[in-house]
Amino acid sequence: MRNKIAKAYLEEGRVVIKDDKWINELHYNKHYGRLDGNELVLHPVEALYLMHIGKLEVYEGEKKLSFEELTRRFSKTDSKLWMRFLVYCDLRRRGLIAVPLKGRNVSFLLYGRGANVEYNATKYLVYAVCEGVRVDFKELARIAEEARRSKKEVVLAVMDRQGEIAYYSMSTISL
């Protein structure tokens, strides 16, 4: 591509890309964001990740925002933003395509390796847990049930206190 770095704008708290060429590249080829009319709206963690790997610049009007600035802004409304970012980052870095989910939990839908995003549904429900924060069985049962209903497998992303992540699948079994 001629310009190596995509340009996005922070508008009303949303990161949007307006250039068709980049929408094509980031959305259709790399599976970022969701379309809203003629614009591509990036999830905060997607925007941060693309900035992090040097693929995106975010502007507010004329002003270019730094990674730090954007992290601070997004964290104001989402106390778990950094954790979300770390997990997203880790999954992407492994070459996997994750879709951030809304809610107070840090969770994602994840495509199987080598899946065709156009034709395949997501295969996993990734749920992040953090060292030092216990999860109750009620919550695990809820996640398991949610995954069962949507025919997905549960993957727990277990994050240590420095942000290192290990993945474990969790299945409910009947013996």
Partner 1 sequence: MSKTDRIRAVLVGNRVIVFDEQRAYKLYEEGFYGKYVGISKPKMSEDEKRRPVELSLLEALYLLEKGRIEVVDINGNPVKYDKLLDIARANYDMFDEVYEVYKDLRSKGYVVRPGLKFGTTFAVYRYGPGIDHAPFLVHVMPFEAKLDPIEIIRAGRLSHSVRKRFIIAVVHPKTRRIHYYMFKWFKA
Considering CB under 8 A, how many residues would be counted as binding partner 1? 31
Q: What is the C-alpha separation between 162 and 173, in angstroms, rounded?
A: 32
Q: In the complex, what is the shortest distance from the CB of residue 77 to partner 1, in angstroms, rounded to a whole number? A: 26
Enumerate long-range contacts of 129-138, CB under 8 Å, 24 or more apart: 129/156, 129/157, 129/158, 129/159, 130/83, 130/158, 130/159, 130/161, 131/158, 131/159, 131/160, 131/161, 132/161
* 167 is a site residue for partner 1 (CB under 8 A): yes
Q: Which is nearer to partner 1, 59 or 167 (CB)?
A: 167
**Can you read off the two tokens belonging to residue 123?**
């295969």
* 135 is a site residue for partner 1 (CB under 8 A): yes
* 169 is a site residue for partner 1 (CB under 8 A): yes
**Binding residues among 55-94 for partner 1 as defined by CB under 8 A:** 90-91, 94
Q: In the complex, what is the shortest distance from the CB of residue 136 to partner 1, in angstroms, rounded to a whole number? A: 5
* 173 is a site residue for partner 1 (CB under 8 A): yes
Q: What is the C-alpha separation between 6 and 26, in angstroms, rounded?
A: 9
* 96 is a site residue for partner 1 (CB under 8 A): yes
* 131 is a site residue for partner 1 (CB under 8 A): yes
* 12 is a site residue for partner 1 (CB under 8 A): no
Q: In the complex, what is the shortest distance from the CB of residue 144 to partner 1, in angstroms, rounded to a whole number? A: 7
- What are the distances in angstroms from CA 105 to CA 83, 95, 135? 10, 23, 11
Residue among 9, 2, 5 nearest 64 (CA): 9
Backbone φ and ψ of 79, nearest 5°: -70, -15
Q: In the complex, what is the shortest distance from the CB of residue 135 to partner 1, in angstroms, rounded to a whole number? A: 5
The residue ranges that bind partner 1 (CB under 8 A) are: 90-91, 94, 96, 129-138, 140-141, 144, 155-156, 158-159, 166-175
